[in-house]
């Protein structure tokens, strides 16, 4: 990845709200990550298991041994050159959409952040609590500042739940999905190769379809920010 390439990705994300970069991980690196995932005890409480989805919240905290495998030289360079010098992890989730999954996700924006406690704070709300984890909708500038990296452990296209996005919608503030005007907006399906990544801004309208080709879709989703929250609040998964 040359500096010129990274500049192109950066400007694409700025303009459209997303970008796909393939071959960020080698085949061997992906196999090592999968080996760790295959060896974990899946009964812990931060793990969510159903026929349609297996998910691990606070992924990097739950599986700390995977950190060195994920933050290879390519990812470190992407974070530094595309996001900025001071970005750190604020949230991480692992999703496994099995081959037979009927799981689909309607168009939405990612409007909440994970924090350490619930407190009355101007501009923050509504709040949700799941399994002692606190999520809140913060002021818009906090959301606008976040970048998400989605690491793909499988080839992903429209047949096994690749994300579909509305390019440019990240720059329109809070955008209710029911108000999408399809005479103006376009849909883009983000195909990503195994070992590739998708970078997106959480405010981009995104969703995914059901799996129809009987292939797995495993994704590691990590969010980054360089903003400190008001003193009384901390990012619950902050990690440099």
Q: How far apart are CA 193 and CA 154, in angstroms?
A: 7
212 located within any domain = yes
Q: Give whole-number Cα distances, 120 to 27, 76, 102, 126, 144, in Å.
A: 47, 36, 38, 10, 22
Band the pLDDT of 70: cuts 50, 70, 90. very high
232 located within any domain = no
Residue 120 in this model has a pLDDT that exceeds 80: yes
Residue 146 in this model has a pLDDT that exceeds 80: yes
87 located within any domain = yes
Q: What is the pTM of this model?
A: 0.96
Question: Tell me, what's the pLDDT at 103?
Answer: 85
Q: pLDDT (tens digit, 9 = 90+) per residue, 147-197?
A: 999 999 999 999 999 999 999 999 999 999 999 999 999 999 999 999 999
Question: Tell me, what's the pLDDT at 102?
Answer: 86
238 located within any domain = no
76 located within any domain = yes
Mean pLDDT score of the chain: 95
User: What single-letter DSSP state applies at residue 213?
Assistant: S
Both tokens of residue 155? Answer: 């080839």
Residue 132 in this model has a pLDDT that exceeds 90: no
Question: Tell me, what's the pLDDT at 175?
Answer: 96
Residue of 100 and 131 predicted with greater confidence? 100
Residues 133 and 143: beta-carbon distance below 8 Å: no
Q: pLDDT (tens digit, 9 = 90+) per residue, 2-44?
A: 878 999 999 999 999 999 999 999 999 999 999 999 998 877 7
Question: Where in the sequence is the domain holding 113, given as residue range(s)?
Answer: 3-225
120 located within any domain = yes
CATH code for the domain in which residue 218 is found: 2.60.120.620
Residue 220 in this model has a pLDDT that exceeds 90: yes
152 located within any domain = yes
In the chain, the number of structural domains is 1
178 located within any domain = yes
Question: Tell me, what's the pLDDT at 138?
Answer: 98
Per-residue pLDDT averaged across 64-85, rounded?
97
């Amino acid at each position: 990845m040359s500096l010129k390439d990274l500049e192109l990705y950066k400007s694409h994300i700025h303009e459209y709200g997303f970008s796909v970069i393939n071959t960020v991980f080698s085949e061997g690196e992906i196999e090592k990550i999968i080996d760790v995932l295959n060896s974990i005890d899946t009964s812990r409480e931060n793990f969510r298991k159903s026929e349609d989805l297996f998910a691990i919240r606070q992924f990097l905290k739950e599986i700390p041994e995977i950190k060195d495998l994920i933050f290879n030289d390519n990812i470190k360079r992407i974070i530094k050159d595309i996001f900025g010098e001071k970005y750190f992890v604020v949230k991480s989730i692992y999703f496994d959409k099995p081959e037979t999954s009927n799981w689909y996700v309607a168009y939405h924006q990612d409007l909440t952040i994970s924090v350490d406690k619930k407190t009355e704070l101007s501009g923050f709300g509504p709040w949700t609590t799941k399994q002692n984890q606190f999520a809140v909708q913060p002021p818009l500038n906090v959301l606008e500042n976040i970048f998400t990296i989605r690491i793909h452990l499988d080839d992903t296209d429209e047949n096994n739940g690749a994300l579909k996005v509305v390019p440019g919608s990240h720059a329109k503030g809070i955008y209710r999905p029911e108000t999408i005007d399809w005479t103006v907006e376009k849909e883009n399906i983000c195909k990503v190769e195994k070992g590739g990544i998708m970078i997106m801004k959480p405010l981009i309208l995104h969703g995914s379809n059901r799996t129809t080709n009987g292939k797995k879709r495993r994704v590691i989703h990590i969010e980054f920010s360089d903003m400190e929250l008001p003193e009384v609040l901390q990012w619950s998964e902050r990690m440099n």
